[in-house]
Amino acid sequence: MTAACGSTDAATVDSYSLDYQIDGEYPPTYIIHCEDDDQVDFGGGVLIAEALNKNNVRHVFDRRTSGGHGFGLGLHKFEDDWVKNVLEFIHS
């Protein structure tokens, strides 16, 4: 964390944590996250969704059990059309 933030004190780390930056003015957000993502901790997505809920921000937390990281590149197939779901959210 020191390399990313320059410090490991709690205030500095929190200033880089998205879930601490969300307030009632945060834009509508669509999160799609796989539990088996080996690059981004799934718990971070949960914290962001909780912060969006707490601040009454319109959002979708599209939780997937598998798919890993980077599935948006078309490397994995899902039964549903997640791109369509995102576009419907944007236009709603």
What's the angle, vertex CA 48, arms to CA 47 and CA 54, rounded to 5? 90
CATH superfamily of the 2-90 domain:
Alpha/Beta hydrolase fold, catalytic domain (3.40.50.1820)
Q: What is the pLDDT of residues 14-63, one digit of tens each?
A: 788 888 899 999 999 999 999 999 999 999 999 999 999 999 999 999 99
Given a cut of 90, whether residue 84 has pLDDT beyond it is: no
Q: What is the pLDDT of residue 3?
A: 55
Residue 27 sits at φ, ψ, to 5 deg, of -70, 160
Q: What is the pLDDT of residue 68?
A: 84
Report domain extents, the chain: 2-90
State pTM to two decimals. 0.80
Tokens of 14: 């929190």
Q: Give Rg (Cα) of the chain.
A: 15
Three-class SS of residue 63? strand
Tokens of 13: 């780390």
